[in-house]
Amino acid sequence: MATQHSRAAARLMISPAVILLFLWMAVPLGMTIYFSFLNYNLLIPSAHNFIGLQNYDFFVTDPAFVTALVNTLVLVLGVLVITTVGGVLMALLLDRPMWGQGIVRILVIAPFFVMPTVSALVWKNMFMNPVNGIFAWVFHLLGIQPFDFLAQAPLFSIIMIVSWEWLPFAALILLTALQSLDSEQIEAAEMDGASAFSRFIYITVPHLTRSITVVILIQTIFLLSIFAEIYVTTNGGPGNASTNIPFMIYSQSLLQFDVGGGSAGGIIAVILANIVAIFLMRMIGKNLEA
């Protein structure tokens, strides 16, 4: 369908974005790769000698590395499941006629507006604290022993906090997609006597797949680098129970100011993220095609 002319035009239209991103990737990434082979600590400016793969070696042989890897994946998957399922339900709910639709939408989107550090502080101190949190108070009213969320289930608690932050994103994207759904199609199906469930499975879900794919891909990118929530609530503990790869990189880069080690960790994170992305593309990439 596309003509030679429109192809050339298309290329022209894509190129600014591609060129910019290429520069953005090439220059800092190139420098990061370079630094990752140096013995370069910001606080010890004298020595910048080449040390080969030592930084990488130290990063992957860290006893916390494997746990951190698993935690990173659990965190990403947990939040993805909760937010996509929750997001679809939320979008369906918000798409129905009701009074005060606009207000409810704003209420649901609102958590996305809160800075991660603030939401983590609010959740940690005002909700999950086993002595003076609201949950502890509710447990107390029910006559149950308060549960120490951040010590007994640190990763789970962080998944809940992060899901709360990202649910609005999924809900908003899916809602926008849902509203572009042709209502005639649904009406026709309704007249043919299709049940609400089969209408959902055969019309709504296929219509939403592309948006769900985008929600998953974009969220994965952000979730792979979750850091502020962990830092504020548990600092990666107890033990390594809530340490993820970004937290390890943070510890190298902004606690030790070890630019070499942090860069090596960064490159490892890029590689891991790409593996995850390729995996995701295999699974859901076909949804992107028209």
Q: Is 78 in the site for another protein (CB under 8 A)?
A: no
Q: Is 21 in the site for another protein (CB under 8 A)?
A: yes
* Site size with another protein, rule: CB under 8 A: 140
Tokens representing residue 115 in the block: 């800075």
Q: Is 263 in the site for another protein (CB under 8 A)?
A: yes
Torsion angle, CA of 157/162/163/168, rounded to 10 degrees? Answer: 150
Binding span for another protein by CB under 8 A among 30-38, 68-76, 77-85, 191-199: 30-38
Least Cα distance to 248 among 271, 220, 225, 223 occurs for 225
Distance in Å, CB of 289 to another protein, minimum: 7
Q: Please give the Cα distance from 287 to 26 (Å, whole number).
A: 29
Distance in Å, CB of 110 to another protein, minimum: 5
Question: Taking CB under 8 A as the criterion, which residues in 169-188 touch another protein?
Answer: 169, 172-173, 176-177, 179-180, 183, 186-187
Q: Which residue from 104, 194, 203, 284 is in contact with another protein, where contact means CB under 8 A?
A: 104
Distance in Å, CB of 244 to another protein, minimum: 11
Question: Taking CB under 8 A as the criterion, which residues in 82-101 touch another protein?
Answer: 90, 93-94, 96-101
Question: Taking CB under 8 A as the criterion, which residues in 209-238 touch another protein?
Answer: 210-211, 213-214, 217-218, 221, 224-225, 228, 233-238
Tokens representing residue 83 in the block: 């937010």
Q: How far is CA 199 from CA 91, 125, 187, 189, 193, in A?
A: 15, 44, 10, 7, 10
- The residue written with tokens 């600014």 in the block is 16
Least Cα distance to 147 among 139, 155, 159, 158 occurs for 139
Question: Taking CB under 8 A as the criterion, which residues in 135-164 touch another protein?
Answer: 137, 140, 146, 148, 150-152, 164
Q: Is 205 in the site for another protein (CB under 8 A)?
A: no
Backbone φ/ψ region at 244: left (φ over 0), alpha (ψ -120 to 50), beta: beta
Question: Taking CB under 8 A as the criterion, which residues in 44-73 touch another protein?
Answer: 44-45, 54, 58, 62-64
Q: What angle do CA 178, 279, 223 make, to 5 degrees?
A: 65
Q: Please give the Cα distance from 110 to 169 (Å, whole number).
A: 10
Q: Is 258 in the site for another protein (CB under 8 A)?
A: yes
Q: Would you say 78 or 244 has its CB closer to another protein? A: 244
Tokens representing residue 210 in the block: 């592309």
Kindly calculate the radius of gyration of the chain based on its CA atoms and give it in whole angstroms.
23
Cβ-contact 235, 254 below 8 angstroms = no
Q: Is 196 in the site for another protein (CB under 8 A)?
A: no
Q: Is 42 in the site for another protein (CB under 8 A)?
A: yes
Distance in Å, CB of 63 to another protein, minimum: 7
Distance in Å, CB of 214 to another protein, minimum: 5
- The residue written with tokens 């809160």 in the block is 114
Q: Which residue from 109, 189, 203, 284 is in contact with another protein, where contact means CB under 8 A?
A: 109
